[in-house]
Amino acid sequence: MLLQGKKILITGVANDWSMAWAIAKRASEMGAEIAMSYAMPALEKRVRPLAESIGAKFVQECNVQNDEQMDALFANIEREWGHLDCVLHAIAFSDKNELTGRYADTTRDNFKNTMDISVYSLVDITRRASRLMSNGGSIVTLTYYGGEKSVPNYNVMGVAKSALDSSVRYLASDLGRDGIRINAISAGPIMTLASSGVGGFKAMLRLNAETTPLRRNMTLDDVSGAVMYLFSDLSSGVTGEIHHVDCGYSTTGMIPNEMKDILLKNLD
Ligand code: NAD
């Protein structure tokens, strides 16, 4: 019961494939009380039964681009709980037509919208949540290696993840004096609604399974376990960190020998 009694807001559940759902379930199993938000009315029929299955305190629509809905979400948390211990930010969006082809072709409108939903939302949520974290707290966001290196098709979302990673460091610096920690998990690829919009994602998964040091893809348990650590007091001295949960992929500089042999044979 690592998270016994902690009050945790989970954003970004769209369905039972969502990383946020795996994290909500695991946190509830570890003793946390959960509140959940979802982006739009169409998602309610999927999200509400999930929330009810873990006895969530409440579940509420909140599009991060809608200030009234953001006000209402945090007012409800204050009314129901009075304070907040942890938040999961698991929100990203970009036009999928621009998650393929060249980054150079990104439109201004999609650039702005991607940054607003996927990056500014962390700043906004952190500012609002921090007002309720009178006893300190832990905020975790989900990022991806495509913000550190170029990854085919990830394009503007990679640029957004760079800004998200940087925001984690600046927010950690702002909030540390109040005992509020903020960290990111850089997760390896896993099939979800959001990731299925990235061009060539299935091929990326296949390749990843053969090339990570652990020779497998990351699982939802891998990522939720790491978030439990960051939510809990076990990570009390950790903030501003980008923690990779990617079966080691980001630590390598070259594909493994057996894959190199296959590739070179095909080139001959
Ligand atoms: P997902 O589709 O289940 O979650 C993305 C969530 O963002 C959805 O719940 C969606 O409703 C929400 N969202 C989009 N626009 C929103 C808005 N305007 N307001 C509020 N919510 C909004 O997919 P996921 O893969 O679980 O994504 C969660 C996070 O994990 C994202 O930040 C994603 O970039 C990140 N991530 C995913 C992978 C992967 O391979 N799946 C890898 C690394 C990081």
Place of tokens 């709980």: 81
Q: Where are the alpha helices (DSSP H) in the chain?
A: 19-29, 44-53, 67-81, 108-115, 121-130, 155-175, 201-211, 220-231, 257-267
Ligand 1 atom nearest the C-alpha of 186 is: 43
Residues of the chain with pLDDT below 50 are none
18, 119, 151, 161: residue to mutate for ligand 1 pocket, most atoms within 8 A of CB: 18
pLDDT at 98: 97
The structure tokens listed for 69 are: 């809905």
Q: Which of 38, 103, 120, 144 is catalytic?
A: 144
pLDDT at 57: 86
pLDDT tens string 86-139: 999 999 999 999 999 999 999 999 999 999 999 999 999 999 999 999 999 999
Task: Specify whether 154 is catalytic.
Answer: yes
CB 47 near ligand 1, within 6 Å: no
CB 88 near ligand 1, within 6 Å: no
Please state whether the predicted TM-score (pTM) of the whole model is above 0.85. yes
Q: Which of 38, 145, 154, 249 is catalytic?
A: 154
Q: Where are the alpha helices (DSSP H) in 103-184?
A: 108-115, 121-130, 155-175
19, 37, 99, 151: residue to mutate for ligand 1 pocket, most atoms within 8 A of CB: 19
Task: Specify whether 120 is catalytic.
Answer: no
Contact 204, 239 (CB under 8 A): no
